[in-house]
Each structure stands twice: as C-alpha cells, then as structure tokens.
Amino acid sequence: MILLSLATAGMVAQNNPLLENYQTPFEAVPFDKITLEHFIPAMEKVIEKGRSEVNGVIENNQPPTFENTIVAMENAGKDVGRVSKVIFNLNSMETTPELQKIVQTVSAKLTDYRNDIFLNDKLYQRVKKVFDNRDALQLSGENAMLLEKSYKGFYRNGANLNPEDKEKLRALNKRLSELGLKFGENVLKETNEFAKYITNEADLKGLPDFVLAAAKDAAAKDGKEGWKFTIQAPSYGPLMQYADNRELRKEMFMAFNTRAFKGNEFDNSGIIKELANLRYEKATLLGYETWADYILEERMANSKQIVLDFLEDIREVAEPAAKKEIEELNAYAKLNGFEGERLERWDASYYAEKLKKEKYEINDEILKPYFSLESTLSGLFTLCNNLWGITFKKNDNIPTWHKDVMVYEIYDKNGEFLALWYGDYFPRKGKRAGAWNNTLRDEWVENGKEIRPHVVNVCNFSKPTGDAPSLLTFNEVETLYHEFGHALHNIFAKGNYGSLTGTSVSWDFVELPSQLMENFVSEPQILNTFAKHYKTGEVIPKDLVIKIKESATFMSGTVSMRQLAFGYLDMTWHGNNPNSFDINEVEAKSDVTRMLYPEVPGISISSAFSHIFSGGYSAGYYSYKWSEVLDADAYELFSQNGVINTKVAQSFRDNILSKGGTVHAMELFKNFRGREPKVDAMFKRSGLINVP
C-alpha cells in the first residue's frame, strides 16, 4: 500500500473505504484503497457512532440487566475498534511522518472517547447494579467473566472518583497516550537514521559471507560503494557476533545502546521520567500504592512482592551459573588473543560465538543455509497440520500494506475457515524493530454468526540477497515459531465476546503459547521436515541436530540474568515513587548483569525500552520468565507423550488456546496440566540445575 501525502490526498475520491463494507475476500482490510485522507474522517465518524451506541445503553429506561447493559456495552463501538486497529497496525508496520501526526490526533480522540465511557457515572451505576446482583443472575462461566471484567474496567478506570479527580484522570490519560507515541517515534527515528558505511574490506574480517552479502546489497540500494551496517537486528546482531574489528564492534554497540539518549530532539530521557511519574500519579489517584500495584492486580502474579520474589528465586540459581560462564569466557578470550583485563559488553557476543563453535562445532554460519524463510514456514505449517489438522492456503489476492507481506487462509481439520493470517518478515524504514503479533480483526459472535479473526505476525529478518533466499539464524527460527504461537491463540479463539477471546488474557499468561511453540524447533523429527539446505536440498545432518540440542543451554545463566535485569529495571521504574529518580541511577540499581562486565558510561537501556514505555509491558516484563516456567512445564506433557501427540495438542487447544480470557489463567493451566505449574522443568531445560 502507498499512502498518499496530505498534499495530494484531497484529490482522492470522496468515498471512504474504512466506512464501507469491505468488498474483499473474507472482508479483509482493503489496504490498496486506503489513503491518509481517510483516517481522521473515518475515526470521527465511528466515534460518533460509538457514542450513540453507548448513549443508547445509558438512556435505556429499562432496569439494567446483563443483556441490556453488559452485552450492549460489549457490542457498542465495534467500528471504533475496527478502524483503530487498521491505523495503529499501520503505524507500527508502515509509518510515515504524516501518519504519525494523524495517529497523534486519533489517539487524543480515542482517549477522550474512552474517558467519556468509563467516567460516566450514570453508565457506571447501571454496570454496578448488574454486578451487585450477580449471584442471583446465575451466569455461565463466560458471561460471569464478562461481567467481572466489565465492572473492574470501570472502577480501574476512575468511575469511583469525584468530579475533580475525574478531570485530573482525563488529563493524565491524554498526556500518557501522547508520551507513549512520542517515545516509540523517537526510537524508530534514531534506529532508522544510523548507518555505518565501510569501504575497506580489511575492516570486515571475520564476517561471514551471508553478512557481507546483505551489507553489500544494502549499500548498493543506497547507491553507495562498499558495505552498509545498521542497528536493525539482522545487521547489528551478526556484526557483534563475528566482526574481528573490536573498534567497529564498540562503535556499533554504542550506537545501539544510545538510541534516544543523545541529548538531541529525539532524546527520550525526559519522556521516561514524565511517563513514570504520570503513571505513578495515575495509580495513586486510583487508590494504588504504585503503578505496579495497579497493573499487577489483574495478573497471575498479583502483587509486587510475588514478582520480586519470583525474580529473586531465579536469580539465586542463574547468577552463580552466569558468573562461571563469564569466567570461562574471559579465560577463553585471553587464550585467543584478548589482551584486556575483562571482556567488555561489545566483546561478549563475539567470544561467545567462538567458544560455542569450538565447544559444539556449530554457529549461525553453519546453520543458516538450512533455514530459509520459505522452508521454515513450510515446516511450521506441517507441524500445525500434524498437531491440529489445520491447513494453509496462500492467497495473493488479499490486499496488503506492503509487497513483501504474505497472506494465508487457515482452515480447520473439518474444512471450516479459521482465520486470515498475514506474515510481514523484513525490515524497512517505516517499520519498528522487533517481532510481534497483532490482529486486524478479533473473534466474536454477532447475531448468531461467528466472526473469524484476521491475525498479523511481524518480524525483522534478513532479506534475500543475490541468488540466496532469506536465511534465518536458529534464534530467528525460534522467533518465527514464537510469534506464530501468539497467532494460534487468536486463530483458535472461540467465544462470544471479542474482549475475552484470543490473546485477551492475563499479561503474564499471554506468552505461554508463543514460548511453548519454540520448544518444537529443536526436535529432530520436526527439524527433519523442513531444515534443508537451500542449494542442495540436503536434510540437516543428524550431527548438527544433536549439536543444536547440546548447545541449547550454552550461556543460559547469562541469558537468564539479562532477562532478569530487564525485569528488575521495569519493576524499579514502576514499583516505586519515581519522582526523584535519575535514569543512570535506576539502571545501575537494576542491572544485575553489572558484576559480569565493566561499566560502560553514557549508555541507556531505558531510552529504547519500548516494551515498557510504549508497549504494553509496563510492570509486566517479568512475564517472559513467568511464562517460561509455564511453557517448560506444559511442554513436558508433549515430551512425555511423543511430542507430536494429537491428544495433548487438542487438550492444549481446548483448554488454553481456544479459551482466551474466558476463564482465569491459573484455572486454564490446571485444566491442561492437571495441577499448578512447577519451576523445575524450566531449570532442567535451561541446564541450570539437574532435575531427575
């Protein structure tokens, strides 16, 4: 899709495709017909319609009931969600400066719209009356959950506040929305603007052919000689692993770790402090001690102390292992030419890659030829067919936002349509870094008809170069499976209410399906179905499969400590009063990896920590480790029953994937596993402790 500039947009026809029934296969979003001029008028129109629907509930003269109040509110504003999904998905995947301005306007309108709902006392009183009468209603599980969530949504969004405090909350919500958008824009701008061009090939010693080919191609596309390197993951990661040039590694490390922390117009320092303080102010206004207390009320780990104890329990096991790993890495480096006293952070990936290859005779250069994007997707589809019987049909006639995007129709084993799935796998200027899952349409039931979801997976992998297809590192293969695990949560969604289906679950439960899918990648019987050399078609040799398994726990203590550091940093910002916090002091206090490497002045994690400052993970980053406990324990059931076990897979689908948030997360896990989760499986899998 090409978005017209605002200057030319006025010449487009009056009809607004966002306000019409989509005349496309499966009512897919007509991205080929949408231009910039359509967004704000469409949003204004659907918000007006949404307000009318909400007012219909408020002004209903009948006594409040579950149907005329709770269900009616669930159905009100459906078009607001439909249009906003298009706009915000595009802002992540194909943004422009013009679109960013539109999103700022749209966000302000949405904030006002939502505030007007949750802060309306008359509406709140209707909801409260239904909730107070819940025992007499004898609602089913899904209906009972909708009532509970609806009521909590009101009081957690300020319905109980006095008029003066409601106005304060309105202002806070508006400013928080603005700051979150600006934070993300700054990170994207800083990431896109950095480019390192190298013309002397001697400076690139150690880099594999696949890295050089991609860098050469990137430079050529800019009309330049030599090689281009960026701080996008497909370029940055391999350079840090393989480049012999230590000064180059340091330069790239500093560029990556000073994003939005340079004191320029894109510096996020002030935004971080304001965000943290306003979140704290909002939480206290709503009656909570800190932002973390507010957020965690609706999580499996429902208190700060539970989260901190959980992190400490893992640290107790991971820290001794990490120290031994770094001692071994330092010793190895000194035996192989390193002359410093201790490895710096820009040395770690480089020497770890060398040590891993020496220990296991394996690295990305050896493995990448077996993992083309095409074959990896084919293997993923085969796995899902074997587990659940679902099938995939490519559809090149579905409009997309970029020519690189692929679309598949997904069908159940009985031939019923399940979902549309979009895959967007290559980096570009208007696309934010990282990997994520989202939806353009959720699943729900409307007038007796089931609406099936449209799901989006986004990653940033190396593009094809020359005669080579897109080749993935093993970590990228895991990422692809991870995001499709999220997609399965949406694809298998089954429920009456969109607010409870798919990934609408406790935030520390949402990573269970995604992280569980990563486990399948290293299974020999699965690797043999898709890991084939892109030139020869040779199936990955058995010895490489064994080495993948053996190397899976390499540096696992250090990796765990890095994740814990992010979790502690998140909880420091959000589990306290941050009024007097200094970014450097917060990071120094939180970074539990500091004992592993010398301090590096002038860098910042927080300044580009999009997960917690512009994503949905504030006071929730611990959930990656929390879900790791869940997925390791859940996957043991697959392992104990032959991995490709349709009975276990169907149970996982029935008890977890299809249920969404219709049942409390712990109950869902117990229904699948037969008990509450145990941490032993995670420690065993990571090699941190020996568990019989």
Catalytic residues: 483
CB–CB of 109/631 below 8 Å? no
CB–CB of 316/322 below 8 Å? no
What is the spatial distance between Cα 476 and Cα 473, in angstroms, rounded to a whole number?
5
What is the spatial distance between Cα 578 and Cα 586, in angstroms, rounded to a whole number?
9
| CA distances to 82, 123, 137, 173 from 109, in Å | 15, 20, 36, 11
Give the count of alpha carbons within 13 A of 560, CB side only: 31
Strands (E), 220-305: 227-229
Angle at 457 between CA 179 and CA 108, to 5 degrees: 25
| CA distances to 514, 581, 666 from 262, in Å | 35, 19, 44
What is the spatial distance between Cα 214 and Cα 380, in angstroms, rounded to a whole number?
25
Give the count of alpha carbons within 13 A of 578, CB side only: 30
Tokens coding 541: 């040799």
CB–CB of 103/41 below 8 Å? no
Residues 6+ positions from 580 with CB-CB distance below 8 Å? none
The residue written with tokens 């250090």 in the block is 558
442 secondary structure, DSSP code: -
CB–CB of 462/234 below 8 Å? yes
CB–CB of 230/218 below 8 Å? yes
CB–CB of 447/427 below 8 Å? no
The residues with which 450 forms a beta bridge, in sequence order, are: 445
Other C-beta atoms closer than 10 Å to the C-beta of 467 total: 8
What is the spatial distance between Cα 27 and Cα 174, in angstroms, rounded to a whole number?
33
H or E element that contains 105 = helix 97-118
